[in-house]
Structure 1
Amino acid sequence: MEYIGFSNYISIFQDSTFWLSFRNNILVVLASIFGQIPIGLALAILLNRKLKGAKFFRTIGFLPVVISTVVISITWRMIYNSEQGMLNNLLESVNLGFLAQNWLGNPDYAIYAILVTIIWQFVGLYFIIFLSALQTVPEELLEAAELDGANEWQKIFHITIPSIKNVILVAVILCISGSLKTFDLIYVMTSGGPAHSTEVMATYMYSATFEGLSYGYGSAISVLILIFSLILILITTKVLNAKKD
Protein backbone atom coordinates (compact mmCIF):
# COMPACT_ATOMS: atom_id res chain seq x y z
CA MET A 1 0.00 0.00 0.00
CA GLU A 2 1.12 3.52 -0.77
CA TYR A 3 -0.16 6.71 0.86
CA ILE A 4 -1.43 9.05 -1.87
CA GLY A 5 -2.87 11.89 0.23
CA PHE A 6 -5.51 13.87 -1.65
CA SER A 7 -4.71 12.46 -5.09
CA ASN A 8 -8.15 10.84 -5.43
CA TYR A 9 -9.90 14.12 -4.67
CA ILE A 10 -7.69 15.98 -7.16
CA SER A 11 -8.55 13.37 -9.79
CA ILE A 12 -12.25 13.69 -9.03
CA PHE A 13 -12.25 17.46 -9.49
CA GLN A 14 -10.56 16.96 -12.87
CA ASP A 15 -13.02 14.25 -13.89
CA SER A 16 -15.65 15.53 -16.37
CA THR A 17 -17.89 12.51 -15.74
CA PHE A 18 -18.01 13.32 -12.03
CA TRP A 19 -19.12 16.89 -12.76
CA LEU A 20 -21.77 15.55 -15.13
CA SER A 21 -23.02 13.25 -12.36
CA PHE A 22 -22.96 16.21 -9.95
CA ARG A 23 -25.02 18.31 -12.39
CA ASN A 24 -27.54 15.47 -12.73
CA ASN A 25 -27.75 15.20 -8.95
CA ILE A 26 -28.53 18.91 -8.72
CA LEU A 27 -31.28 18.40 -11.34
CA VAL A 28 -32.71 15.58 -9.22
CA VAL A 29 -32.64 17.81 -6.12
CA LEU A 30 -34.35 20.71 -7.93
CA ALA A 31 -36.95 18.43 -9.52
CA SER A 32 -37.68 16.88 -6.12
CA ILE A 33 -37.99 20.20 -4.28
CA PHE A 34 -39.99 22.03 -6.96
CA GLY A 35 -41.90 18.95 -8.12
CA GLN A 36 -42.61 16.66 -5.19
CA ILE A 37 -43.14 19.32 -2.49
CA PRO A 38 -45.62 21.61 -4.37
CA ILE A 39 -47.57 18.72 -5.88
CA GLY A 40 -47.68 16.88 -2.54
CA LEU A 41 -48.82 20.05 -0.76
CA ALA A 42 -51.49 20.79 -3.38
CA LEU A 43 -52.86 17.25 -3.17
CA ALA A 44 -52.85 17.39 0.64
CA ILE A 45 -54.78 20.68 0.69
CA LEU A 46 -57.25 19.31 -1.86
CA LEU A 47 -57.85 15.99 -0.07
CA ASN A 48 -57.93 17.53 3.40
CA ARG A 49 -61.50 18.53 2.63
CA LYS A 50 -64.60 16.39 2.99
CA LEU A 51 -64.64 15.03 -0.53
CA LYS A 52 -66.40 11.91 -1.77
CA GLY A 53 -63.83 9.13 -2.17
CA ALA A 54 -61.08 11.08 -0.38
CA LYS A 55 -59.86 7.96 1.46
CA PHE A 56 -59.53 6.08 -1.82
CA PHE A 57 -57.48 8.87 -3.40
CA ARG A 58 -55.27 9.10 -0.30
CA THR A 59 -54.49 5.40 -0.65
CA ILE A 60 -53.77 5.72 -4.38
CA GLY A 61 -51.54 8.74 -3.74
CA PHE A 62 -49.41 6.87 -1.22
CA LEU A 63 -49.23 3.62 -3.22
CA PRO A 64 -46.06 4.45 -5.25
CA VAL A 65 -44.12 4.96 -2.01
CA VAL A 66 -44.68 1.40 -0.83
CA ILE A 67 -44.09 -0.27 -4.21
CA SER A 68 -40.59 -1.67 -4.74
CA THR A 69 -38.27 0.72 -6.57
CA VAL A 70 -37.23 -2.11 -8.89
CA VAL A 71 -40.87 -2.69 -9.88
CA ILE A 72 -41.35 1.04 -10.48
CA SER A 73 -38.16 1.22 -12.55
CA ILE A 74 -39.12 -1.71 -14.78
CA THR A 75 -42.68 -0.40 -15.19
CA TRP A 76 -41.54 3.08 -16.26
CA ARG A 77 -38.86 1.59 -18.49
CA MET A 78 -41.66 -0.24 -20.30
CA ILE A 79 -43.71 2.98 -20.49
CA TYR A 80 -40.75 4.79 -22.07
CA ASN A 81 -39.95 1.92 -24.49
CA SER A 82 -39.36 3.45 -27.91
CA GLU A 83 -41.22 0.73 -29.85
CA GLN A 84 -43.97 -0.69 -27.65
CA GLY A 85 -44.04 1.85 -24.83
CA MET A 86 -47.33 3.34 -23.64
CA LEU A 87 -46.07 6.93 -23.87
CA ASN A 88 -45.16 6.82 -27.55
CA ASN A 89 -48.35 4.88 -28.36
CA LEU A 90 -50.37 7.53 -26.52
CA LEU A 91 -48.68 10.29 -28.49
CA GLU A 92 -49.43 8.43 -31.73
CA SER A 93 -53.08 8.00 -30.77
CA VAL A 94 -53.58 11.76 -30.26
CA ASN A 95 -51.76 12.67 -33.51
CA LEU A 96 -48.62 13.82 -31.69
CA GLY A 97 -46.43 11.06 -33.04
CA PHE A 98 -43.81 13.61 -34.07
CA LEU A 99 -43.05 14.04 -30.35
CA ALA A 100 -42.28 10.32 -29.89
CA GLN A 101 -38.71 9.69 -28.74
CA ASN A 102 -36.38 6.98 -27.61
CA TRP A 103 -36.82 8.48 -24.15
CA LEU A 104 -34.21 6.49 -22.26
CA GLY A 105 -31.86 6.03 -25.21
CA ASN A 106 -31.49 9.68 -26.15
CA PRO A 107 -28.84 11.49 -24.05
CA ASP A 108 -30.78 14.76 -24.43
CA TYR A 109 -34.00 13.42 -22.89
CA ALA A 110 -33.05 10.47 -20.68
CA ILE A 111 -32.38 12.42 -17.48
CA TYR A 112 -35.66 14.35 -17.78
CA ALA A 113 -37.61 11.13 -18.31
CA ILE A 114 -36.08 9.78 -15.10
CA LEU A 115 -36.90 13.01 -13.22
CA VAL A 116 -40.59 12.50 -14.04
CA THR A 117 -40.40 8.99 -12.56
CA ILE A 118 -38.64 10.22 -9.41
CA ILE A 119 -41.25 12.94 -8.86
CA TRP A 120 -44.10 10.45 -9.36
CA GLN A 121 -42.55 7.92 -6.98
CA PHE A 122 -42.19 10.19 -3.96
CA VAL A 123 -45.05 12.70 -4.28
CA GLY A 124 -47.16 10.38 -2.12
CA LEU A 125 -44.68 10.50 0.76
CA TYR A 126 -44.86 14.29 1.06
CA PHE A 127 -48.59 14.21 0.39
CA ILE A 128 -49.09 12.07 3.51
CA ILE A 129 -46.69 14.19 5.58
CA PHE A 130 -48.48 17.41 4.62
CA LEU A 131 -51.91 15.87 5.06
CA SER A 132 -51.04 14.92 8.64
CA ALA A 133 -49.70 18.44 9.28
CA LEU A 134 -52.81 20.11 7.84
CA GLN A 135 -55.00 18.23 10.29
CA THR A 136 -53.22 20.02 13.14
CA VAL A 137 -54.11 23.52 11.85
CA PRO A 138 -56.71 24.96 14.29
CA GLU A 139 -60.17 25.17 12.71
CA GLU A 140 -60.83 28.29 14.79
CA LEU A 141 -58.22 30.24 12.80
CA LEU A 142 -59.77 29.26 9.49
CA GLU A 143 -63.28 30.05 10.69
CA ALA A 144 -62.17 33.45 12.03
CA ALA A 145 -60.49 34.27 8.72
CA GLU A 146 -63.63 33.27 6.85
CA LEU A 147 -65.73 35.55 9.06
CA ASP A 148 -63.31 38.39 8.26
CA GLY A 149 -63.98 37.85 4.55
CA ALA A 150 -60.90 35.85 3.55
CA ASN A 151 -61.30 33.71 0.46
CA GLU A 152 -59.88 30.19 0.03
CA TRP A 153 -56.57 31.35 -1.49
CA GLN A 154 -56.02 33.87 1.30
CA LYS A 155 -56.67 31.22 3.95
CA ILE A 156 -54.20 28.86 2.27
CA PHE A 157 -51.37 31.37 1.85
CA HIS A 158 -51.84 33.37 5.06
CA ILE A 159 -52.95 30.70 7.55
CA THR A 160 -52.55 27.12 6.34
CA ILE A 161 -49.05 27.25 4.83
CA PRO A 162 -47.52 29.47 7.59
CA SER A 163 -48.96 27.06 10.18
CA ILE A 164 -47.05 24.10 8.72
CA LYS A 165 -43.80 25.90 7.78
CA ASN A 166 -41.71 23.69 10.06
CA VAL A 167 -43.11 20.56 8.43
CA ILE A 168 -42.32 21.99 4.97
CA LEU A 169 -38.74 22.64 6.13
CA VAL A 170 -38.38 19.03 7.29
CA ALA A 171 -39.84 17.84 3.97
CA VAL A 172 -37.32 19.93 2.00
CA ILE A 173 -34.45 18.48 4.05
CA LEU A 174 -35.76 14.95 3.44
CA CYS A 175 -36.06 15.81 -0.24
CA ILE A 176 -32.44 16.94 -0.49
CA SER A 177 -30.97 14.03 1.46
CA GLY A 178 -33.04 11.51 -0.50
CA SER A 179 -32.19 13.07 -3.85
CA LEU A 180 -28.44 13.02 -3.26
CA LYS A 181 -28.46 9.30 -2.52
CA THR A 182 -30.62 8.40 -5.53
CA PHE A 183 -29.26 5.15 -6.91
CA ASP A 184 -31.52 2.12 -7.37
CA LEU A 185 -34.10 3.65 -9.71
CA ILE A 186 -31.49 5.07 -12.10
CA TYR A 187 -29.34 1.96 -11.91
CA VAL A 188 -32.24 -0.30 -12.94
CA MET A 189 -33.62 2.04 -15.62
CA THR A 190 -30.43 3.12 -17.40
CA SER A 191 -27.35 2.15 -15.32
CA GLY A 192 -26.21 5.75 -15.79
CA GLY A 193 -26.35 5.66 -19.59
CA PRO A 194 -26.53 6.47 -22.39
CA ALA A 195 -23.07 8.07 -22.46
CA HIS A 196 -23.28 8.87 -18.71
CA SER A 197 -26.21 11.23 -19.41
CA THR A 198 -28.18 9.88 -16.43
CA GLU A 199 -25.18 9.28 -14.17
CA VAL A 200 -25.54 10.61 -10.63
CA MET A 201 -22.88 10.63 -7.93
CA ALA A 202 -24.14 7.44 -6.28
CA THR A 203 -24.19 5.43 -9.53
CA TYR A 204 -20.79 6.83 -10.51
CA MET A 205 -19.41 5.89 -7.09
CA TYR A 206 -20.78 2.36 -7.51
CA SER A 207 -19.33 1.89 -11.00
CA ALA A 208 -15.95 3.32 -9.95
CA THR A 209 -15.80 1.10 -6.86
CA PHE A 210 -17.23 -2.24 -7.95
CA GLU A 211 -16.86 -2.17 -11.73
CA GLY A 212 -13.63 -0.19 -11.98
CA LEU A 213 -12.28 -1.71 -8.71
CA SER A 214 -11.04 1.73 -7.62
CA TYR A 215 -12.07 1.49 -3.98
CA GLY A 216 -10.19 4.59 -2.88
CA TYR A 217 -11.68 6.67 -5.71
CA GLY A 218 -15.19 5.43 -4.90
CA SER A 219 -14.68 6.19 -1.21
CA ALA A 220 -13.61 9.73 -2.08
CA ILE A 221 -16.79 10.20 -4.13
CA SER A 222 -18.82 8.94 -1.13
CA VAL A 223 -17.18 11.53 1.13
CA LEU A 224 -18.01 14.29 -1.38
CA ILE A 225 -21.64 13.13 -1.51
CA LEU A 226 -21.80 13.53 2.28
CA ILE A 227 -20.17 16.98 2.16
CA PHE A 228 -22.46 18.24 -0.63
CA SER A 229 -25.51 16.91 1.25
CA LEU A 230 -24.55 18.76 4.43
CA ILE A 231 -23.85 21.98 2.52
CA LEU A 232 -27.20 21.91 0.70
CA ILE A 233 -29.13 21.10 3.88
CA LEU A 234 -27.40 23.92 5.80
CA ILE A 235 -28.09 26.43 3.01
CA THR A 236 -31.74 25.37 2.78
CA THR A 237 -32.20 25.57 6.55
CA LYS A 238 -30.65 29.07 6.66
CA VAL A 239 -32.81 30.34 3.78
CA LEU A 240 -36.08 28.94 5.13
CA ASN A 241 -35.36 30.09 8.68
CA ALA A 242 -34.53 33.57 7.39
CA LYS A 243 -37.85 33.71 5.58
CA LYS A 244 -39.65 32.46 8.69
CA ASP A 245 -38.11 35.24 10.77
Structure 2
Amino acid sequence: MQKSRISPYLFTAPAMLLFSFTILLPIVMTLIFSFFDWNGFGTMKFAGIDNYIRAFQDHIYLVSYWHIFIYIILTIFLEVVAGLLLAGLITVKLKGTGLFRIAFFTPVMLPMLVTSFMWRFVYNSDFGLLNAVLKFVGLESWTHVWLGDPHTALYVLSIVSGWVYAGFYMTIFYAGIQRIPNDIYESAYLDGATEKDIFFKIKIPMIRNLVEVALTLCILGAFQGFDLFYIMTNGGPYNATEIVTTYLVKVVFTNANIGYGSALAVIMTLVVIGIGLLLNKLKTSEKDSLEY
Protein backbone atom coordinates (compact mmCIF):
# COMPACT_ATOMS: atom_id res chain seq x y z
CA MET A 1 0.00 0.00 0.00
CA GLN A 2 2.84 2.35 0.92
CA LYS A 3 4.68 1.59 -2.32
CA SER A 4 1.65 2.50 -4.43
CA ARG A 5 1.51 5.96 -2.81
CA ILE A 6 5.17 6.67 -3.41
CA SER A 7 5.29 5.30 -6.98
CA PRO A 8 3.71 8.36 -8.71
CA TYR A 9 6.27 10.66 -7.08
CA LEU A 10 9.13 8.39 -8.08
CA PHE A 11 7.98 8.39 -11.70
CA THR A 12 7.58 12.17 -11.83
CA ALA A 13 10.76 12.93 -9.87
CA PRO A 14 13.16 12.82 -12.88
CA ALA A 15 10.96 15.19 -14.88
CA MET A 16 10.52 17.54 -11.92
CA LEU A 17 14.27 17.57 -11.23
CA LEU A 18 15.00 18.33 -14.87
CA PHE A 19 12.39 21.10 -14.89
CA SER A 20 13.75 22.54 -11.65
CA PHE A 21 17.38 22.67 -12.80
CA THR A 22 16.70 23.88 -16.34
CA ILE A 23 13.76 26.24 -15.80
CA LEU A 24 13.04 27.15 -12.18
CA LEU A 25 16.62 27.50 -10.94
CA PRO A 26 17.73 29.84 -13.78
CA ILE A 27 14.63 32.00 -13.22
CA VAL A 28 15.29 32.29 -9.48
CA MET A 29 19.01 32.94 -9.94
CA THR A 30 18.34 35.60 -12.60
CA LEU A 31 15.97 37.36 -10.21
CA ILE A 32 18.58 37.23 -7.43
CA PHE A 33 21.43 38.43 -9.66
CA SER A 34 19.33 41.40 -10.80
CA PHE A 35 19.77 42.99 -7.35
CA PHE A 36 23.56 42.75 -7.43
CA ASP A 37 26.44 44.38 -9.22
CA TRP A 38 28.49 41.43 -10.48
CA ASN A 39 30.73 40.70 -13.45
CA GLY A 40 30.46 36.92 -13.10
CA PHE A 41 33.86 36.42 -11.43
CA GLY A 42 34.51 38.93 -8.68
CA THR A 43 32.67 39.75 -5.48
CA MET A 44 28.95 40.33 -5.69
CA LYS A 45 27.91 43.75 -4.41
CA PHE A 46 24.31 44.36 -3.42
CA ALA A 47 22.85 47.11 -5.60
CA GLY A 48 19.19 47.04 -4.62
CA ILE A 49 16.99 48.36 -7.41
CA ASP A 50 19.78 50.39 -9.02
CA ASN A 51 19.93 48.01 -11.99
CA TYR A 52 16.20 48.48 -12.61
CA ILE A 53 16.48 52.28 -12.34
CA ARG A 54 19.38 52.17 -14.79
CA ALA A 55 17.32 50.06 -17.20
CA PHE A 56 14.59 52.68 -17.45
CA GLN A 57 17.24 55.32 -18.17
CA ASP A 58 19.01 53.22 -20.80
CA HIS A 59 18.10 54.71 -24.17
CA ILE A 60 19.30 51.72 -26.20
CA TYR A 61 17.32 49.27 -24.09
CA LEU A 62 14.13 51.33 -24.30
CA VAL A 63 14.51 51.85 -28.06
CA SER A 64 14.94 48.09 -28.50
CA TYR A 65 11.30 47.65 -27.47
CA TRP A 66 10.29 50.16 -30.12
CA HIS A 67 12.21 48.09 -32.68
CA ILE A 68 10.35 44.98 -31.54
CA PHE A 69 7.04 46.83 -31.91
CA ILE A 70 7.88 47.83 -35.50
CA TYR A 71 9.07 44.29 -36.17
CA ILE A 72 5.77 42.87 -34.84
CA ILE A 73 3.66 45.17 -37.04
CA LEU A 74 5.68 44.27 -40.13
CA THR A 75 5.71 40.53 -39.47
CA ILE A 76 1.97 40.42 -38.82
CA PHE A 77 1.52 41.42 -42.45
CA LEU A 78 4.53 39.58 -43.86
CA GLU A 79 3.93 36.34 -41.94
CA VAL A 80 0.35 35.98 -40.67
CA VAL A 81 -1.54 37.89 -43.36
CA ALA A 82 0.71 36.53 -46.12
CA GLY A 83 0.33 33.02 -44.72
CA LEU A 84 -3.43 33.41 -44.68
CA LEU A 85 -3.50 34.57 -48.28
CA LEU A 86 -1.22 31.72 -49.33
CA ALA A 87 -3.44 29.21 -47.54
CA GLY A 88 -6.45 30.60 -49.37
CA LEU A 89 -4.56 30.36 -52.66
CA ILE A 90 -3.48 26.74 -52.29
CA THR A 91 -6.92 25.59 -51.10
CA VAL A 92 -8.47 26.74 -54.35
CA LYS A 93 -9.08 23.70 -56.53
CA LEU A 94 -6.35 24.33 -59.07
CA LYS A 95 -3.64 22.08 -60.45
CA GLY A 96 -0.13 22.34 -59.05
CA THR A 97 -1.05 23.63 -55.58
CA GLY A 98 0.90 20.75 -54.00
CA LEU A 99 4.09 22.14 -55.51
CA PHE A 100 3.28 25.57 -54.12
CA ARG A 101 2.80 24.10 -50.62
CA ILE A 102 6.26 22.54 -50.73
CA ALA A 103 7.88 25.69 -52.12
CA PHE A 104 6.33 27.99 -49.51
CA PHE A 105 7.10 25.69 -46.59
CA THR A 106 10.72 24.94 -47.57
CA PRO A 107 12.19 28.12 -45.96
CA VAL A 108 10.80 27.02 -42.58
CA MET A 109 12.91 23.86 -42.71
CA LEU A 110 16.17 25.71 -43.34
CA PRO A 111 18.31 26.53 -40.27
CA MET A 112 18.17 30.23 -39.46
CA LEU A 113 21.96 30.31 -39.64
CA VAL A 114 21.85 29.25 -43.28
CA THR A 115 18.98 31.58 -44.08
CA SER A 116 20.71 34.57 -42.48
CA PHE A 117 23.97 34.09 -44.37
CA MET A 118 22.08 33.53 -47.62
CA TRP A 119 20.15 36.78 -47.23
CA ARG A 120 23.29 38.65 -46.22
CA PHE A 121 24.58 37.74 -49.65
CA VAL A 122 21.31 38.90 -51.25
CA TYR A 123 21.49 42.28 -49.49
CA ASN A 124 25.25 42.80 -49.91
CA SER A 125 25.81 46.28 -51.28
CA ASP A 126 28.87 45.37 -53.38
CA PHE A 127 28.05 42.02 -54.98
CA GLY A 128 24.61 41.20 -53.59
CA LEU A 129 21.91 39.61 -55.68
CA LEU A 130 19.32 42.33 -55.06
CA ASN A 131 21.50 45.20 -56.24
CA ALA A 132 22.72 43.11 -59.18
CA VAL A 133 19.13 42.50 -60.31
CA LEU A 134 18.29 46.19 -59.95
CA LYS A 135 21.28 47.13 -62.10
CA PHE A 136 20.39 44.48 -64.66
CA VAL A 137 16.85 45.82 -65.13
CA GLY A 138 18.07 49.41 -65.40
CA LEU A 139 17.20 50.56 -61.88
CA GLU A 140 20.72 51.28 -60.71
CA SER A 141 19.51 54.36 -58.84
CA TRP A 142 17.51 52.05 -56.59
CA THR A 143 20.59 50.16 -55.39
CA HIS A 144 21.23 50.63 -51.72
CA VAL A 145 23.33 49.62 -48.74
CA TRP A 146 20.37 47.70 -47.34
CA LEU A 147 21.86 46.37 -44.11
CA GLY A 148 24.17 49.35 -43.58
CA ASP A 149 21.50 52.04 -43.60
CA PRO A 150 19.71 52.63 -40.26
CA HIS A 151 16.57 53.60 -42.17
CA THR A 152 16.25 50.30 -44.07
CA ALA A 153 18.01 47.64 -41.97
CA LEU A 154 15.04 46.75 -39.75
CA TYR A 155 12.65 46.59 -42.70
CA VAL A 156 14.80 44.26 -44.78
CA LEU A 157 15.28 42.00 -41.76
CA SER A 158 11.51 41.81 -41.38
CA ILE A 159 11.24 40.77 -45.03
CA VAL A 160 13.59 37.86 -44.33
CA SER A 161 11.48 36.84 -41.34
CA GLY A 162 8.35 36.99 -43.50
CA TRP A 163 10.02 34.86 -46.17
CA VAL A 164 10.83 32.24 -43.55
CA TYR A 165 7.67 32.05 -41.46
CA ALA A 166 4.89 32.84 -43.95
CA GLY A 167 4.98 29.18 -44.98
CA PHE A 168 4.70 28.10 -41.34
CA TYR A 169 1.49 30.06 -40.80
CA MET A 170 0.26 28.97 -44.23
CA THR A 171 0.49 25.35 -43.07
CA ILE A 172 -1.47 26.11 -39.90
CA PHE A 173 -4.25 27.89 -41.81
CA TYR A 174 -4.25 25.26 -44.55
CA ALA A 175 -4.87 22.51 -41.98
CA GLY A 176 -7.76 24.51 -40.52
CA ILE A 177 -9.34 25.21 -43.90
CA GLN A 178 -9.12 21.53 -44.81
CA ARG A 179 -11.36 20.71 -41.83
CA ILE A 180 -14.22 22.84 -43.17
CA PRO A 181 -16.97 20.52 -44.52
CA ASN A 182 -17.39 20.51 -48.30
CA ASP A 183 -21.16 20.89 -47.88
CA ILE A 184 -20.63 24.51 -46.87
CA TYR A 185 -18.67 25.21 -50.05
CA GLU A 186 -21.27 23.48 -52.21
CA SER A 187 -24.08 25.52 -50.68
CA ALA A 188 -22.12 28.72 -51.23
CA TYR A 189 -21.43 27.85 -54.88
CA LEU A 190 -25.13 27.16 -55.43
CA ASP A 191 -25.91 30.62 -54.03
CA GLY A 192 -23.51 32.14 -56.57
CA ALA A 193 -20.58 32.81 -54.26
CA THR A 194 -17.20 33.49 -55.83
CA GLU A 195 -13.85 32.22 -54.56
CA LYS A 196 -13.27 35.64 -53.05
CA ASP A 197 -16.57 35.47 -51.16
CA ILE A 198 -15.81 31.97 -49.92
CA PHE A 199 -12.37 33.01 -48.69
CA PHE A 200 -13.44 36.12 -46.79
CA LYS A 201 -16.91 35.03 -45.65
CA ILE A 202 -16.42 31.32 -45.01
CA LYS A 203 -12.78 30.27 -44.70
CA ILE A 204 -11.47 33.12 -42.57
CA PRO A 205 -14.43 33.23 -40.11
CA MET A 206 -14.31 29.45 -39.64
CA ILE A 207 -10.60 29.42 -38.78
CA ARG A 208 -10.79 32.52 -36.62
CA ASN A 209 -9.35 30.72 -33.59
CA LEU A 210 -6.29 29.69 -35.61
CA VAL A 211 -5.80 33.28 -36.75
CA GLU A 212 -5.87 34.44 -33.13
CA VAL A 213 -3.34 31.79 -32.15
CA ALA A 214 -1.10 32.81 -35.07
CA LEU A 215 -1.23 36.47 -34.01
CA THR A 216 -0.30 35.50 -30.46
CA LEU A 217 2.62 33.39 -31.68
CA CYS A 218 3.79 36.21 -33.94
CA ILE A 219 3.64 38.86 -31.21
CA LEU A 220 5.22 36.85 -28.41
CA GLY A 221 7.68 35.18 -30.77
CA ALA A 222 9.11 38.58 -31.71
CA PHE A 223 10.56 38.89 -28.20
CA GLN A 224 12.38 35.57 -28.70
CA GLY A 225 13.99 36.68 -31.93
CA PHE A 226 17.76 36.60 -31.76
CA ASP A 227 19.62 34.55 -34.37
CA LEU A 228 18.35 36.48 -37.40
CA PHE A 229 19.27 39.87 -35.91
CA TYR A 230 22.54 38.67 -34.39
CA ILE A 231 23.89 37.10 -37.57
CA MET A 232 22.75 39.68 -40.09
CA THR A 233 23.38 42.97 -38.26
CA ASN A 234 24.20 42.24 -34.58
CA GLY A 235 21.98 45.17 -33.66
CA GLY A 236 23.61 47.61 -36.08
CA PRO A 237 24.03 49.86 -37.80
CA TYR A 238 24.12 52.37 -34.94
CA ASN A 239 21.72 50.21 -32.88
CA ALA A 240 19.06 50.55 -35.60
CA THR A 241 18.15 46.85 -35.34
CA GLU A 242 18.94 46.37 -31.67
CA ILE A 243 16.31 44.26 -29.94
CA VAL A 244 16.13 43.19 -26.32
CA THR A 245 17.78 39.79 -26.78
CA THR A 246 20.75 41.07 -28.79
CA TYR A 247 21.29 43.87 -26.28
CA LEU A 248 21.12 41.38 -23.40
CA VAL A 249 23.88 39.30 -24.97
CA LYS A 250 26.10 42.37 -25.31
CA VAL A 251 25.50 43.48 -21.73
CA VAL A 252 26.15 40.05 -20.23
CA PHE A 253 28.86 38.57 -22.45
CA THR A 254 30.58 41.62 -23.95
CA ASN A 255 30.33 44.05 -21.04
CA ALA A 256 30.41 41.26 -18.41
CA ASN A 257 27.62 42.86 -16.39
CA ILE A 258 25.63 39.92 -15.04
CA GLY A 259 23.59 41.94 -12.57
CA TYR A 260 22.40 44.57 -15.03
CA GLY A 261 21.75 41.96 -17.72
CA SER A 262 19.66 39.94 -15.27
CA ALA A 263 17.57 43.02 -14.47
CA LEU A 264 16.97 43.60 -18.19
CA ALA A 265 15.92 39.95 -18.57
CA VAL A 266 13.50 40.20 -15.65
CA ILE A 267 11.87 43.32 -17.11
CA MET A 268 11.53 41.66 -20.52
CA THR A 269 9.97 38.58 -18.91
CA LEU A 270 7.41 40.75 -17.11
CA VAL A 271 6.63 42.58 -20.35
CA VAL A 272 6.07 39.31 -22.23
CA ILE A 273 3.87 37.94 -19.41
CA GLY A 274 1.87 41.18 -19.39
CA ILE A 275 1.33 41.09 -23.15
CA GLY A 276 0.31 37.43 -22.96
CA LEU A 277 -2.22 38.14 -20.23
CA LEU A 278 -3.56 41.15 -22.17
CA LEU A 279 -4.01 39.10 -25.33
CA ASN A 280 -5.75 36.36 -23.37
CA LYS A 281 -8.01 38.94 -21.71
CA LEU A 282 -8.94 40.47 -25.06
CA LYS A 283 -9.68 37.03 -26.48
CA THR A 284 -11.85 36.11 -23.49
CA SER A 285 -13.73 39.43 -23.59
CA GLU A 286 -14.37 39.07 -27.31
CA LYS A 287 -15.61 35.52 -26.82
CA ASP A 288 -17.97 36.60 -24.04
CA SER A 289 -19.36 39.44 -26.15
CA LEU A 290 -20.01 37.07 -29.07
CA GLU A 291 -21.79 34.60 -26.79
CA TYR A 292 -23.88 37.42 -25.36
How far apart, CA to CA, are the structure 2 residues paired with 1:215 and 1:154?
Answer: 56
Give the AA of the match of 2:250.
Answer: S
Instruction: Could you tell me which runs of 5 or more consecutive residues in structure 1 were left unpaired when the two chains were aligned.
Output: none
Residue among 154, 158, 163 paired with 1:111: 154
1:220 aligns with 263
What does 1:80-229 align with in structure 2 at a 5 Å threshold? Answer: 80-229=123-272
Determine if contact 1:169/1:237 at 8 Å carries over to the other structure.
no
Normalization by structure 2: what TM-score? 0.80
**Farther-moved stretch of structure 1 (131-140 vs 49-58):** 49-58
The Cα shift of 1:160 comes to 1.1
1:131-185 deviations in Å (ceiling 9; x for gaps): 1111011111122122223332222222111110111111111111211110001
Unaligned runs of 5+ in 2: 1-43
Counterpart for residue 33 of structure 1: 76
Partner secondary structure for residue 221 of structure 1: helix
Q: Judge which range, 56-65 or 235-244, deviates more.
A: 235-244
Note if contact 1:28-1:115 (Cα within 8 Å) is conserved in structure 2.
yes
Letter in 2 for 1:199: E
Shift of 1:231: 2.6
Instruction: Check 1:69–1:217 CA distance in 2 against 1; reply closer, same or farther (3 A cut).
Output: same
Counterpart position of 1:64: 107
- How far off its partner does 1:15 sit? 0.6
Count of residue pairs brought into register by the alignment: 245
Q: Distance in 2 between matches of 1:195 and 1:38?
A: 31
Partner of 1:19: 62
Change (3 A) 1:150 1:240: farther
The corresponding residue for 2:7 is none
Distance 1:103 1:239 in 2: 38
State the identity %: 38
Q: CA deviation at 1:240?
A: 4.7
Once residues 57 and 50 of structure 2 are traced to their aligned partners in structure 1, the CA distance between those partners, rounded to angstroms, is: 11
- Give the 3 Å change call, closer, same or farther, for CA 43–241 of structure 1 in structure 2: farther
Partner of 2:47: 4
Q: 2-side partners of 1:146 and 1:179: how far apart?
A: 40
In 2, Cα distance between equivalents of 1:149 and 1:51: 19
Deviation at 1:227, TM superposition (A): 2.0
Following the alignment from structure 1 to structure 2, what is the Cα–Cα distance between the partners of residues 241 and 48?
A: 30
What is the Cα deviation at residue 243 of structure 1?
4.8
CA distance in 1, matches of 2:101, 2:124: 30
Over the residues paired in the alignment, what is the CA RMSD in angstroms? 1.5
Q: Secondary structure at the match of 1:137?
A: coil
Deviates more, 1:142-151 or 1:230-239: 230-239
| 2:273 paired residue among 207, 223, 230 | 230
In 1, Cα distance between equivalents of 2:144 and 2:282:
39
Alpha-carbon distance in 2 for matches of 1:59, 1:151: 26
What's the offset of the Cα at 1:5? 2.1
- Report the Cα distance in structure 1 between the residues aligned to 2:198 and 2:284, rounded to whole angstroms: 22
Residues in 1 aligned to 2:141 and 2:283: alpha-carbon distance in whole angstroms: 43
- TM-score (structure 1 length as normaliser): 0.94
**Distance in 2, Cα, partners of 1:224 & 1:140:** 50
